[in-house]
């Protein structure tokens, strides 16, 4: 019995070592990718990365913070595009509430703004944006979302509308300021992992 057990351990040991090496390589690869993702997230340029944004047919803001919506409204005011979709808005939120939250007077823009209420996920945002783009014959979209969310947002939106050109306009959210701190790193790590999962599924 003892001899059989010892033989089993010797047979399993190489497999265990291989598994350990694979696990270690996976951790190293995740860590290296995470460092790149952090740099990408934090490299948003002047005025929250919205300077010199190219003109487009439309703007899509993915909700998740007043900063994103406010940045999208500023792009609309600056005439970077003639129409805006605010995707994933709660059913109790209207244009007046968005105006209050952003501090921007939106009455003159009402005819240019569409409030999307059906998306509850990033993939849902992409589907909502694709339907809006098709209905409005939009071929070039400025995408406004948090800098840490931009990679996954672009991934899902390219899948949903592969023929539409997407221009990223990332916003550095308050959640990442001041930097660095543990909650911000945890937020970016979670989003990085979600992006990796979305890349293969």
Q: Are 91 and 119 in contact (CB under 8 A)?
A: no
Q: Domain for residue 95, yes or no? A: yes
The percent of residues in the chain predicted with pLDDT above 90, rounded, is: 50
User: DSSP of 36-97, one letter per residue?
Assistant: HHHHHHH---HHHHTTTPPP-SEEEEE-SSHHHHHHHHHHHHTTS-S-EEEES--TT--HHH
Q: Domain for residue 190, yes or no? A: yes
Q: Domain for residue 24, yes or no? A: no
Q: Tell me how far apart the alpha carbons of residues 179 and 166 are, in angstroms, rounded to a whole number.
A: 28
Q: Per the structure block, which two tokens stand in for 69?
A: 């919506």
Give the burial class of 51: count Cβ atoms within 10 A of its Cβ; 0-12 exposed, 13-18 middle, 19 or more buried: exposed
Q: Domain for residue 21, yes or no? A: no
Q: Tell me how far apart the alpha carbons of residues 131 and 87 are, in angstroms, rounded to a whole number.
A: 11
Domain, as residue range, for 191: 46-200
Name the more confident of 127 and 20.
127
Q: Are 187 and 68 in contact (CB under 8 A)?
A: no
Q: Domain for residue 19, yes or no? A: no
pLDDT at residue 67, rounded to an integer: 87
Name residue 113's beta-bridge partners: 84
Backbone φ and ψ for 79, nearest 5 degrees, come out as: 60, 35
Q: Domain for residue 183, yes or no? A: yes
Asked whether the CA dihedral 107, 92, 118, 50 is positive or negative, the reply is positive
Q: How far apart are the two ends of the chain, measured CA to CA in Å?
A: 46
CATH code at position 142? 3.40.50.620
Q: Is the pLDDT of residue 24 over 70?
A: no
Q: Is the pLDDT of residue 176 over 50?
A: yes
Residue 50 Cα distances to 93, 133, 143, 194, 198, angstroms:
25, 22, 11, 25, 26
The percent of residues in the chain predicted with pLDDT above 70, rounded, is: 82
Q: For the chain, what is the domain count?
A: 1
Q: Domain for residue 9, yes or no? A: no
Q: Is the pLDDT of residue 48 over 80?
A: no
Nearest to 125 by CA among 188, 171, 61: 61
pLDDT at residue 21, rounded to an integer: 63
Q: Is the pLDDT of residue 168 over 90?
A: yes
Name residue 142's beta-bridge partners: 59, 167
């Amino acid at each position: 019995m003892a001899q059989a057990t010892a033989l089993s351990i010797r047979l399993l040991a190489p497999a265990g070592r291989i598994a350990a090496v694979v696990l270690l390589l996976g951790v190293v690869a995740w860590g290296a990718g995470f460092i790149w993702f952090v740099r990408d997230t934090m490299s948003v340029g002047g005025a929250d990365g919205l300077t010199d944004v190219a003109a487009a047919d439309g703007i899509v803001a993915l909700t998740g913070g007043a900063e994103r919506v406010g940045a999208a409204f500023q792009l609309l005011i600056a005439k970077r595009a003639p129409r805006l979709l605010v995707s994933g808005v709660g059913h109790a939120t209207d244009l007046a509430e968005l105006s209050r939250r952003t501090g921007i007077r939106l009455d003159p823009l009402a005819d240019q703004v569409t409030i999307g209420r059906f998306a509850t996920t990033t993939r849902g945002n992409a589907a909502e944006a694709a339907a809006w783009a098709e209905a409005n014959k939009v071929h070039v979209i400025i995408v406004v979302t948090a800098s840490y969310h931009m990679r996954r947002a672009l991934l899902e939106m390219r899948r949903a509308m592969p023929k539409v050109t997407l221009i990223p306009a990332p916003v550095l959210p308050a959640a990442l300021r001041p930097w660095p701190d543990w909650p911000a790193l945890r937020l970016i790590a979670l989003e990085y992992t979600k992006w990796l999962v979305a890349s293969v599924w």
